[in-house]
């Protein structure tokens, strides 16, 4: 009997030992995994389609089927300058899980001035959404080219608002600290940034690593390694910063719409008692998605042409080029006191009385897009001298509006677009300069004659039998740009051709036509 008990004890010892060793091994593996993927379960990159409960919540609060979030408090809306609160950046949403709390953080299109950043945040507890708010990070100093440094030692106010623009809470910060209790202190690291070790994931510009677990397409975790075949290279989209853990990161996208979140570095906190940048004492994600404040001309034209109303206008006008007069649309941001606050007004443009030309009219500061046609019998499939002059006059008027301190909101001239639809193609003019001056001393009749004789006719062919007109569009685009540079030069003017496969910038290099396809 004694021997039997001893044998049982020995067997139990080995079983327990094996269990303990297995548990230790699992714990070690867990530790190793966390070293490779710190916070891997904490952050994900989502798309709206992957969080239908959030989409349903937003729609129920706004009464809309899209992501138009109206701000109806006029004083609030006007005080924020050139902010379009109507549009959320829905292709990139950061999900942060913190115990029972889950936060979804949206970037807001069109950042404010150099001292303000805005996000929209939804908080969920045990799968029930309990609140949502706009959050304003109002810094005392400009964010500039090094926003992480400003956020890391943030001095200013973090303010939250509801969907009606009413203030919910405000929290003041000085050198990264507020009157709130600390949230656990610094994560540590090097102020220069410590690259997270990888396991074979792709390396992106700026260093660092993206592996599995940080959310691929749809935020489903993704796989390490290269993106899907034929999806192109990963392209930088946004910065992120989590003030509660001091984790910074980059968000990248590719041509297939896949999204990756790359942890880049830890940042040393200036104070061990640092609190998260939240409006209501740590009751928030602490995540800031930094918008592209000064995107490229391609970024801006892509944002304009991705608007569904803009696309619908182009489609409608493409069916009107066989008419005997011009047609057009004007697109305006609706005022906060209108029946469509925070939305977009779309106005069909009528012809000038007694003419076959549209009535070119803009409103300051609301108009942001003018679209019109050149009907077929004009035989002018690209902008005319008069079009360039009108675009210049609009920009000058916007500049003068901004110069008056009493005028608000201010107009971002780089977000204005002037578009032409013809049977031979659709083109857009935008502005990327530092200053604009009015044209003077020109004779429009002489300009039109020179333009037709030297730009249009040399590249036009008329079929002998049918009489149909065709153009060498590459040569016409080059001729147009040369004519504009010589006669109506406006530094910063950009020419784009719009297409179903994307937008293309067209410009001169050593007086020769060059194209750049926008991703």
Lowest mean pLDDT among 80-84, 177-181, 241-245, 456-460: 80-84
Q: Is the pLDDT of residue 392 over 70?
A: yes
Average pLDDT (328-337) is: 78
Angular region, 480: left φ>0, alpha ψ -120 to 50, beta rest: alpha
Residues 98 and 221 in one domain: yes
Residues 354 and 503 in one domain: yes
Confidence of residue 180 (pLDDT cuts 50, 70, 90): confident
Is residue 472 within 8 Å of residue 459, measured between CB atoms?
yes
Give me the DSSP letters along 300-331.
Answer: HHHHHHT-HHHHHHHHHHHTTTTSSS--EEEE
Q: Quote the strand ranges of 26-115, DSSP E.
A: 43-46, 88-98, 101-108
Residue 67 is assigned to a structural domain of this protein: yes
Lowest mean pLDDT among 7-16, 161-170, 489-498: 7-16
Confidence of residue 258 (pLDDT cuts 50, 70, 90): confident
Smallest Cα–Cα separation from 214: which of 265, 251, 255? 251
Return d(Cα 107, Cα 251) in angstroms, integer.
12
Q: Is the pTM of this model over 0.85?
A: no
Q: Which of 40-44, 101-105, 112-116, 132-136 has the highest mean pLDDT?
A: 101-105
pLDDT digits (tens, 9 = 90+) for 50-71: 888 988 888 787 766 656 555 4
* pLDDT the model gives residue 208: 28
Total domains present in the chain: 2
322 — phi, psi (to 5°)?
Answer: -90, 5
Smallest Cα–Cα separation from 365: which of 403, 411, 416? 411
Residues 68 and 148 in one domain: yes
* pLDDT the model gives residue 162: 82
Residues 316 and 213 in one domain: no
Q: At what angle do helices 473-487 and 385-403 cross, to 10 degrees?
A: 50
Residues 215 and 74 in one domain: yes
Residues 442 and 472 in one domain: yes
Q: Which of 3-12, 152-161, 187-196, 338-347 has the highest mean pLDDT?
A: 152-161
CA distances for 3 relative to 7, 9, 10, 16, 118, angstroms:
6, 10, 10, 20, 74
Return d(Cα 331, Cα 366) in angstroms, integer.
8
Confidence of residue 204 (pLDDT cuts 50, 70, 90): very low
**475 contacts: CB under 8 Å, gap ≥ 6:** 458, 459
* pLDDT the model gives residue 274: 63
Residue 483 is assigned to a structural domain of this protein: yes
* pLDDT the model gives residue 293: 53
Average pLDDT (72-94) is: 51
Residues 213 and 319 in one domain: no
Residues 236 and 347 in one domain: no
Residues 161 and 91 in one domain: yes
Q: Is the pLDDT of residue 276 over 50?
A: yes
Residue 7 is assigned to a structural domain of this protein: no
Average pLDDT (385-414) is: 90
Q: Is the pLDDT of residue 304 over 90?
A: no
Would you call 43 exposed, middle or buried from its count of C-beta atoms within 10 A (0-12, 13-18, 19+)? buried
Last residue of some domain: 244, 261, 293? 293
Residue 262 is assigned to a structural domain of this protein: yes
Smallest Cα–Cα separation from 479: which of 446, 450, 441, 504? 450
For residue 254, give its domain range: 38-293
More confident residue, 413 or 83: 413
* pLDDT the model gives residue 507: 96
Residue 12 is assigned to a structural domain of this protein: no
Is residue 85 within 8 Å of residue 162, measured between CB atoms?
no
Residues 416 and 369 in one domain: yes
- Give the torsion through C-alpha atoms of 481, 485, 490, 496, to 10 deg: 10
Smallest Cα–Cα separation from 101: which of 72, 68, 80, 127? 127
Residue 130 is assigned to a structural domain of this protein: yes
Cα 254 versus chain centre, distance: 15
Q: Is the pLDDT of residue 194 over 90?
A: no
* pLDDT the model gives residue 495: 98
* pLDDT the model gives residue 16: 40
Residue 33 is assigned to a structural domain of this protein: no
Is residue 346 within 8 Å of residue 313, measured between CB atoms?
yes
- CA gyration radius for the chain? 28
Return d(Cα 303, Cα 109) in angstroms, integer.
9
Last residue of some domain: 225, 259, 293? 293
Return d(Cα 168, Cα 57) in angstroms, integer.
19
Return d(Cα 405, Cα 352) in angstroms, integer.
34
Q: Is the pLDDT of residue 38 over 60?
A: no
State the average pLDDT for the chain: 74
Residues 93 and 174 in one domain: yes
Return d(Cα 106, Cα 401) in angstroms, integer.
31
- Give the torsion through C-alpha atoms of 454, 458, 459, 464, to 10 deg: 140
Lowest mean pLDDT among 40-49, 75-84, 479-488: 75-84
Return d(Cα 254, Cα 519) in angstroms, integer.
9
User: What 3-state class would DSSP assign to 363?
Assistant: coil
pLDDT digits (tens, 9 = 90+) for 485-518: 999 999 999 999 999 889 999 999 999 999 999 8
User: What 3-state class would DSSP assign to 109?
Assistant: coil
Residues 256 and 339 in one domain: no
Residue 504 is assigned to a structural domain of this protein: yes
Last residue of some domain: 272, 293, 314? 293
Q: Is the pLDDT of residue 297 over 80?
A: yes
Would you call 493 exposed, middle or buried from its count of C-beta atoms within 10 A (0-12, 13-18, 19+)? buried
């Amino acid at each position: 009997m004694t021997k039997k008990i001893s044998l049982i004890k020995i067997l139990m010892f080995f079983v327990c030992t094996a269990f303990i060793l297995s548990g230790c091994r699992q714990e070690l593996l867990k530790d190793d995994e966390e070293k490779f993927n710190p916070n891997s379960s904490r952050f994900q990159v989502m798309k709206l389609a992957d969080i239908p409960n959030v989409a349903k919540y937003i729609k129920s609060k706004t009464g809309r089927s899209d992501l138009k979030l109206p701000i109806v408090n006029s004083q609030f809306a006007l005080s924020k300058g050139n902010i379009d609160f109507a549009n959320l950046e829905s292709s990139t949403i950061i999900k942060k899980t913190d115990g029972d709390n889950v936060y979804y953080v949206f970037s807001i299109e069109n950042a404010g001035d150099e001292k303000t950043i805005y996000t929209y945040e939804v908080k969920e507890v045990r799968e029930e959404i309990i609140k949502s708010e706009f959050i304003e990070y109002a810094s005392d100093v400009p964010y500039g080219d090094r926003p992480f440094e400003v956020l890391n030692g943030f001095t200013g106010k973090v303010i939250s608002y509801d969907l009606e623009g009413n203030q919910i809470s405000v929290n003041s910060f000085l050198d990264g600290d507020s009157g709130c209790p600390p949230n656990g202190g610094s994560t540590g690291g090097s102020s220069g940034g410590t690259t997270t070790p990888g396991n074979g994931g792709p390396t992106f510009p700026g260093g660092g690593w993206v592996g599995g677990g940080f959310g691929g397409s749809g935020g489903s975790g993704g796989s390490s390694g290269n993106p899907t075949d034929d999806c192109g290279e990963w392209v930088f989209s946004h910065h992120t910063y989590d003030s509660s853990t001091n984790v910074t990161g980059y968000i990248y996208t590719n041509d297939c719409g896949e999204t990756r979140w790359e942890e880049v570095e830890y940042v040393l906190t200036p104070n061990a008692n640092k609190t998260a940048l939240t409006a209501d004492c740590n009751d928030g994600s602490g995540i800031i998605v930094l918008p592209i404040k000064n995107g490229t001309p391609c970024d801006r034209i892509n944002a304009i042409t991705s608007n569904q109303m803009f696309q619908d206008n182009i489609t409608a006008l493409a069916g009107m080029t066989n008419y005997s007069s011009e047609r057009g649309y004007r697109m305006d941001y609706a005022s906060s006191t209108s029946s469509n606050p925070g939305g977009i007004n779309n106005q069909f443009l009528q012809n000038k009385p007694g003419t076959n030309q549209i009535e070119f009219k803009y409103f300051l500061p609301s108009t942001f897009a003018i679209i019109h046609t050149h009907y077929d019998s004009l035989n002018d499939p690209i902008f005319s001298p008069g079009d360039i002059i009108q675009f210049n006059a609009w920009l000058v008027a916007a500049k003068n509006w901004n110069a008056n301190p009493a005028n608000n909101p201010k107009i971002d001239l780089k977000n204005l677009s002037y578009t032409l639809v013809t049977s031979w193609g659709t083109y857009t003019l935008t502005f990327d300069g530092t200053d604009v001056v009015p044209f003077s001393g020109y004779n429009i009749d002489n300009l039109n004659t020179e333009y037709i004789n030297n730009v249009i006719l040399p590249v036009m062919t008329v079929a002998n039998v049918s009489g149909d007109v065709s153009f060498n569009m590459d040569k016409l685009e080059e001729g147009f740009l040369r004519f504009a540079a010589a006669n109506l030069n406006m530094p910063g003017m950009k020419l784009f051709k719009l297409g179903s496969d994307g937008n293309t910038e067209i410009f001169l290099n050593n007086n020769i036509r060059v194209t750049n396809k926008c991703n």
